[in-house]
C-alpha cells in the first residue's frame, strides 16, 4: 500500500486552502506583504531538516490566523504540486530535476508529443514558486527559489554551507554508504545544483550577495540555525499598526 508522506500532505493542504482564494494585494496601503523563506543549500548541509525545524518554530511563534494555513515546507515535491495544480501529468516531474535541464529528453518528448516544451515547464515552476511566495507562510527549499522569487516582497533568503568533509560524513551516515561514495555524491549534487541555477537564472548559487543570511551548519547547529532564522522572520514581520493602517 502506498502512503503519502506527511510533508506532502501538509503542502497539499496548504495549496488546497491558499490557491482557492485570491492572494492579498501587496504594495497598497493596509496590505503588508506576506512573509516567506527560501533555503538554498549545499548537499549535506541540512536544508530539508532546517526547513522542518523552522516550520515547527514559526508555527509556535506565529500561530496561523483563522482560515489561514500553517507555515508549510515545499521541498523536492514542489514540481509535482505545480503539475497537479495545472492539470499536467505528475510523470512530467522526471523531466524537471533540480540538477539539470535534459535537452535530449526534451527534444525527444516534443517530437513524439509526450510533454510540453521543457523550458516552458521550468518557467511554470518558477511562476508557481512566486505564487506560493506571494501567498506567504511558506518555506521553499532549493530549485533556485530565491532567484525565482526575486522582487516578491516579504522574502527572507537563507544559504546553508559547511566544509565538504563535514558534509561528506553526514551524507555517508544518511546514505549508509562508504565515505568515498558519499563524497562522490556530494560533489555531483553540488555541481548539478550550480548548473541548474546557472542555466535557469544565469546566476551563481554560491554568491553570498544573493542571501540575507549565510549559515555554516558545521559551526551552527540546525536548532540554532532555526532559532536565528526564526528571529529574523520575527524582526521583519509587519508591525500590527502598519497592517491595520487604512
CATH fold for the domain made of 7-15+33-234: Rossmann fold (3.40.50)
Q: If we measure between CA atoms, which residue out of 81, 73, 69 comes closest to residue 49? A: 73
The span from the CA of 203 to the CA of 147, in Å, is 8
C-alpha–C-alpha distance, residues 120 and 92, integer Å: 12
Predicted TM-score of the model (pTM) = 0.80
Longest dimension (CA), the chain: 61
Q: What is the pLDDT of residues 177-201, one digit of tens each?
A: 999 999 999 999 999 899 889 888 9
Q: How would you write the pLDDT of the chain (246 residues) with one tens digit per residue?
A: 333 455 445 555 555 545 555 554 444 444 566 899 999 999 999 999 999 999 999 999 888 777 778 899 998 777 777 888 777 777 777 777 765 544 434 444 554 455 556 778 888 889 999 999 998 999 999 999 999 999 999 999 999 999 999 999 999 999 999 999 999 999 999 998 998 898 889 999 999 999 999 999 999 999 999 999 999 999 998 876 544 444
> 141: helix, coil or strand?
strand
Per-residue DSSP letter, 144: T
Angle among Cα 63, 65, 69 to the nearest 5 degrees reads: 80
**155-161 and 36-41: which strand pairing?**
parallel
Residues 202 and 141: their CA atoms lie apart, in Å, by 19
Amino acid at each position: 500500500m502506498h502512503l503519502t508522506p506527511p510533508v506532502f500532505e501538509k503542502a497539499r493542504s496548504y495549496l488546497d486552502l491558499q490557491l482557492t482564494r485570491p492572494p492579498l494585494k501587496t504594495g497598497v496601503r493596509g496590505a503588508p506583504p506576506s512573509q516567506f523563506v527560501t533555503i538554498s543549500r549545499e548537499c549535506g548541509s541540512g536544508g530539508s531538516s532546517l526547513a522542518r525545524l523552522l516550520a515547527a518554530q514559526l508555527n509556535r511563534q506565529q500561530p496561523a490566523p483563522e482560515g489561514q494555513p500553517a507555515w508549510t515546507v515545499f521541498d523536492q515535491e514542489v514540481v509535482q504540486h505545480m503539475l497537479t495544480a495545472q492539470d499536467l501529468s505528475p510523470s512530467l516531474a522526471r523531466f524537471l530535476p533540480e540538477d539539470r535541464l535534459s535537452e535530449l529528453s526534451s527534444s525527444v518528448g516534443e517530437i513524439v508529443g509526450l510533454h510540453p516544451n521543457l523550458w516552458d515547464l521550468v518557467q511554470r515552476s518558477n511562476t508557481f514558486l512566486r505564487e506560493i511566495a506571494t501567498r506567504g507562510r511558506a518555506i521553499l527549499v532549493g530549485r533556485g527559489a530565491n532567484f525565482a522569487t526575486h522582487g516578491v516582497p516579504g522574502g527572507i533568503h537563507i544559504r546553508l554551507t559547511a566544509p565538504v568533509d563535514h558534509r561528506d560524513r553526514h551524507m555517508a551516515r544518511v546514505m549508509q554508504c562508504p565515505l568515498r561514495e558519499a563524497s562522490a555524491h556530494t560533489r555531483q549534487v553540488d555541481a548539478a545544483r550550480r548548473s541548474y541555477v546557472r542555466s535557469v537564472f544565469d546566476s551563481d548559487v554560491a554568491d553570498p550577495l544573493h542571501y540575507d543570511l549565510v549559515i555554516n551548519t558545521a559551526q551552527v547547529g540546525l536548532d540554532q540555525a532555526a532559532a536565528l532564522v526564526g528571529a529574523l522572520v520575527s524582526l521583519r514581520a509587519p508591525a500590527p499598526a502598519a497592517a491595520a493602517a487604512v
